[in-house]
Structure 1
Amino acid sequence: MSTRIRPATTSDREHVRDIHLRAFPDSENRRVAKLAVELLDEQGDPPTISQVAELDGRVVGHIAFSPVKSEDAPDWLGYILAPLAVLPECRNAGIGSALVEHGIELLLEQPADRVFVYGDPAYYGRFGFGAEAAAHFVPPFALEHPFGWQARGLREHGATGRTLRLACVKALCDPALW
């Protein structure tokens, strides 16, 4: 069995929707699946980075990184990792980790200073995410679980030393996602 990670395309729409519907609990799966599909269509500069994992030619995982900016620092750029999902029957095979690591490699090629995530600190901590790196960055909406707001620096010059309020792409502008 070989895993391959590649850019997601609009032709992956149904696979991406299915992955998120199956990976998340019923209380949030439709909202997250809608976000994942909308991010496939997100047109912006800089672009949203959306990747899928294939296992023996079958799409089994998806991850997206969309840009975040701040009006307080027009030259500053970050990304947010959201969402990430792997089909339940393919979990614990390193696919989610491979998607995160590959995505961070792609971000290092961008002029991005920091990558954020709103998720489980135990999971994302192993990729270098932490609450301290996110402390001076205010998410676009109030967080239901503030302990989940984390970041990882990509470049040293990205530390502004002041608090910045972040703005996200349209697909993430749903307070229920936060």
Structure 2
Amino acid sequence: MSQPTDNHCQYGVQRPNLGWEIRYNGGTFVVTQDLPMHYTLADKSAIEAIKTLFCQTFTDSEGEAEGQLIGQLASDLIEQTHNDDLFIYIAAEGEAVVGAILFTRLHYPCGTPVFVMAPVAVATSCHGQGIGQALIAFGLQEIKAQGVEVAVTYGDPNFYHKTGFVPVDTQTIAAPYSLQFPHGWQAQSLTGEALPVLKGPVTCVAAFCDPQFW
């Protein structure tokens, strides 16, 4: 699966945000910032900035141990995952990375192109500005263009439903491991059709092969 290569900036594909509408599944996000904001496809050269963002953001919200854990997870996902199985999207304000999401492939027996969106972070100082929702919408739009048919995530349904995700059970879409918080397992179709039933066994990328992340 190739990744888009047009309009490269330091981190990847550059998209201006001021006054830009981002659409997904019939919904619309309009984000206006005081400073220029770019939503970009990043490459692995951004690993340190992304790791730092995840470390700091999760430290602020969950404590230092969680910050170190998720920061290292993000780093491992970027370092260890083949390019065909990974998409990295960031929100950049000038040279500063203020938001990041990672999509990695899930392999199902049926062969449907499925990616899991995790982890996700927006700098604490930028919360409440719509950056996270806009970045997710941008990322979903981009992976859809690359042929991905289903996106799943694992987190707070109160937030992710704003970007088109709906709760699903593991009988409908199998998870790689037993879930500690089953209500956080969510998905959305990127094809305009109903979500398919995706039976296991399902495998995730190597960095996610640890029950503590599930």
Tell me the TM-score normalized by structure 2.
0.75
- Displacement over 6 Å in runs of 4+: none
Percent identity over the alignment is 27
Give the counterpart letter for 2:79 in structure 1. Answer: D
Residues 39-93 of structure 1: CA distance to partner in whole angstroms, max 9, x if unpaired?
22244363300012111331111110111111x31x2220000011011111111
Cα pair 1:121 1:150 within 8 Å, conserved: yes
Letter in 2 for 1:130: V
- Give 2:126's aligned amino acid: C
Residue 66 of structure 1, aligned match among 99, 104, 110: 104
Distance 1:28 1:121 in 2: 20
Residue 105 of structure 2: SS of its match in structure 1? Answer: strand
Q: Distance in 1 between matches of 2:106 and 2:83?
A: 11
Residue 27 of structure 2 is matched in structure 1 by none
The amino acid of 2:46's aligned partner reads D
Separation (CA, whole Å) in 2 of partners of 1:106 and 1:43: 19
| 1:154 aligns with one of 183, 187, 190 | 190
Relative to structure 1, is the Cα distance of residues 161 and 81 closer, same or farther in structure 2, using a 3 angstrom cutoff?
Answer: closer
Select 1:113's aligned residue among 149, 154, 161. 149
Instruction: Supply the AA of the counterpart residue of 1:4.
Output: H
Q: Could you list the per-position Cα deviations for residues 133-178 of structure 1 after superposition, in whole angstroms to 9, with x for gaps in the alignment?
A: 8651121111111100000011256854463332111111111111
Contact 1:48 1:65 in 2 (8 A): yes
Name the amino acid aligned to 1:33: G
Aligned pairs, number: 176
Structure (1 or 2) with the larger CA radius of gyration: 2
Question: How many Å separate the matches in 2 of 1:138 and 1:162?
Answer: 6
Unpaired runs of at least 5, structure 1: none
User: What RMSD, in angstroms, separates the aligned Cα atoms of the two structures?
Assistant: 2.0
Query: How does the TM-score come out when normalised to structure 1?
Result: 0.89
Q: Look up the equivalent residue of 2:54 and give its one-letter code.
A: H
Indicate the residue corresponding to 1:177 in structure 2. Answer: 213
Counterpart Cα distance in 1 of 2:198 and 2:39: 36
Residues 116 and 134 of structure 1 are in contact (CA less than 8 Å); yes or no, is this contact kept in structure 2?
A: no
